[in-house]
């Protein structure tokens, strides 16, 4: 532990010396500018052009025009969004530009699998019905739903289609089908206690409001544990693309279970084969329920594919880690292609089924190498290697094969001598 800390201090010193040189140069200039003129003074040589506030920008804020990071269709070469009819399919979050752990709502990934347009729902007209094996079925308006005690929790969602292969260029393509938001809503257990579950209640089915309803079977234990009937996201109502006015959060389960535009929950006595289960078949109910849980997964977002390191020296390697099994316990980073693993630090407190931001301070000596991360979660699950995943899914071990099921394997980035960063699986 101590020697680890010492070596980090040394690295930091080396880094600080380097960074100090650069900082001195610019901060010197900035100090001069500040000393002479108030930057707001018209005619000052250091004055910035002013932004003319439009009514829209003042009423509902927009980011700076210099910040241009956007979502892109997923996978590259797949169905475009919007298509010629205006439909939205799969759209990925620009993780390469992310800071912290919250994905801005405008950049949350989108997966619309039910072949329909986004429903345009008037929340005043919308109701949520809970029925089936309950003593007192409930139909709630959105206003009634909001009268129940609420919870606010950080949770990620990840689509099962979030799989990496050697053909993808950047981390948006490899890992952009996951995002993390702060969700507000009512615990499903709160509503189920209100309804009174019958003894035969074993599963529930959640249904959306599109023409193609789509539905998922989820074990009742999960309902009583931590599912949230969410109407809030990052401090405001859900966005339409995220299921306005209400969706279910099934923390840690594959994205497809997080039914948007939620209109009905039916409590049932067994697993029901629904639209959503097609293509998700696994041998038995138990495995099915467990198989829906996203494994421990992590990825380095900086430096990552298509980014460019200016030259040898100090870098803070940073990335995201998450698990469907609970909170992340440890993240390790390797800067030598997986020979030596170093403990990364957390930038925020790890929370259950939420992204956590990790970092590792590194001095790059300018030689070609591969960097990668791996994590473990609070129940001791460890992020697998690509070879382990291949064995699990019984697919050949080729570097660029497409993993058929969930893919939480380690992702390598290659750093070339010229500082260019590319996909290590290519």
Which residues are paired to 155 by β-bridges? 181
d(CA 102, CA 348): 11
Question: Nearer Cβ to ligand MTE, position 223 or 317?
Answer: 223
Shortest distance in whole angstroms from residue 90 CB to Mo ion:
7
Which residues are paired to 208 by β-bridges? 262
Query: Considering the rule CB under 5 A, would residue 159 count as an interface residue with Mo ion?
Result: yes
Pairing of strands 313-322, 413-415: unpaired
Q: What angle do CA 318, 323, 324 make, to 5 degrees?
A: 155
Pairing of strands 127-132, 262-268: parallel
Binding track, positions 90-109, relative to ligand MTE; x by CB under 6 A: ------------------xx
Question: Nearer Cβ to Mo ion, position 162 or 422?
Answer: 162
List the single partner that 205 binds among Mo ion, ligand MTE, none, CB under 5 to 8 Å by kind: none
Query: Considering the rule CB under 6 A, would residue 113 count as an interface residue with ligand MTE?
Result: yes
Distant-in-sequence contacts of 415-421, Cβ < 8 A, 24+ apart: 415/303, 415/309, 415/364, 415/368, 415/369, 415/370, 415/371, 416/368, 417/366, 417/367, 417/368, 419/308, 419/309, 419/310, 419/311, 420/308, 420/309, 421/303, 421/304, 421/305, 421/306, 421/307, 421/308, 421/309
Of the candidate spans 159-167, 178-186, 245-253, 341-349, the one that interacts with Mo ion by CB under 5 A turns out to be 159-167
Count of chain residues binding ligand MTE (CB under 6 A)? 20
Question: Nearer Cβ to ligand MTE, position 6 or 106?
Answer: 106
**Interacting residue with Mo ion among 176, 185, 252, 255 (CB under 5 A):** 255
Shortest distance in whole angstroms from residue 157 CB to Mo ion:
9
Which residues are paired to 264 by β-bridges? 129, 207
d(CA 216, CA 125): 24
Question: Nearer Cβ to ligand MTE, position 170 or 259?
Answer: 259
Shortest distance in whole angstroms from residue 331 CB to ligand MTE:
24
Of the candidate spans 256-264, 289-297, 299-307, 399-407, the one that interacts with ligand MTE by CB under 6 A turns out to be 256-264
Is residue 153 classed as helix, strand or coil in its secondary structure? strand
**Interacting residue with ligand MTE among 130, 180, 230, 256 (CB under 6 A):** 256
d(CA 304, CA 177): 16
Shortest distance in whole angstroms from residue 176 CB to ligand MTE:
11
**Interacting residue with ligand MTE among 37, 97, 182, 210 (CB under 6 A):** 210
Instruction: Please give the sequence-ordered ranges of beta strands (E in DSSP) within 133-177, or none if there are none.
Output: 138-141, 151-158
d(CA 342, CA 361): 10
Of the candidate spans 53-61, 111-119, 148-156, 287-295, the one that interacts with ligand MTE by CB under 6 A turns out to be 111-119
Binding site for ligand MTE (CB under 6 A): 108-114, 157, 159, 208, 210, 214, 241-242, 255-256, 258-261
Binding site for Mo ion (CB under 5 A): 111, 159, 255-256
């Amino acid at each position: 532990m101590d020697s680890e800390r010492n070596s980090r201090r040394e690295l930091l010193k080396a880094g600080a010396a380097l960074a100090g040189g650069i900082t001195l140069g610019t901060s010197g200039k900035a100090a001069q500018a500040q000393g002479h003129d108030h930057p707001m003074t018209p005619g000052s040589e250091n004055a910035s052009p002013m932004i003319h506030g439009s009514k829209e920008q003042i009423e509902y804020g927009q980011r700076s025009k210099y910040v241009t990071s956007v979502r892109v269709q997923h996978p590259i070469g797949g169905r475009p969004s919007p298509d010629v009819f205006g439909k939205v399919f799969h759209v990925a979050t620009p993780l390469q530009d992310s800071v912290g752990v919250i994905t801005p709502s405008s950049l949350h990934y989108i997966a619309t699998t039910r072949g329909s347009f986004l429903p345009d729902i008037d929340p005043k007209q919308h109701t949520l019905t809970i029925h089936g094996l309950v003593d007192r079925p409930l139909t709630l308006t959105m206003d009634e739903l909001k009268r129940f005690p609420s919870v606010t929790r950080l949770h990620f969602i990840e689509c099962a289609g979030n799989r990496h292969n050697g053909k993808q260029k950047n981390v948006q393509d490899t890992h952009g089908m996951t995002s993390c938001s702060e969700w507000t809503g009512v615990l499903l257990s709160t509503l189920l206690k209100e309804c009174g579950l019958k003894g035969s209640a074993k599963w529930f089915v959640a249904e959306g409001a599109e023409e193609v309803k789509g539905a998922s079977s989820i074990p009742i234990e999960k309902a009583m544990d931590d599912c949230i009937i969410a109407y809030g996201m990052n401090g405001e109502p859900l966005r339409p693309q995220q299921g306005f006015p209400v969706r279910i959060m099934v923390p840690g389960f594959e994205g497809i279970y997080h039914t948007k535009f939620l209109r009905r929950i039916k409590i049932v006595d067994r697993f029901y084969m629904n639209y959503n289960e097609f293509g998700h078949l696994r041998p038995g109910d138990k495995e099915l329920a467990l198989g829906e849980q996203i494994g421990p997964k992590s990825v380095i977002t900086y430096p990552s594919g298509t980014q460019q390191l200016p030259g040898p020296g100090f870098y803070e390697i940073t990335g995201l880690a998450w698990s469907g099994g609970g909170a992340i316990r440890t993240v390790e980073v390797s800067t030598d292609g997986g020979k030596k693993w170093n403990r990364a630090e957390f930038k925020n407190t790890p929370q259950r089924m939420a992204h956590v931001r990790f970092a590792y301070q590194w001095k790059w000596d300018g030689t070609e190498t591969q960097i990668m991360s791996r994590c473990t979660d609070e129940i001791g699950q460890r992020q697998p290697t690509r070879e382990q995943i291949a064995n699990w899914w019984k697919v050949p071990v080729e570097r660029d094969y497409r993993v058929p099921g969930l893919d939480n394997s380690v992702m390598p980035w290659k750093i070339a001598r010229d500082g260019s960063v590319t996909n290590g699986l290519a």
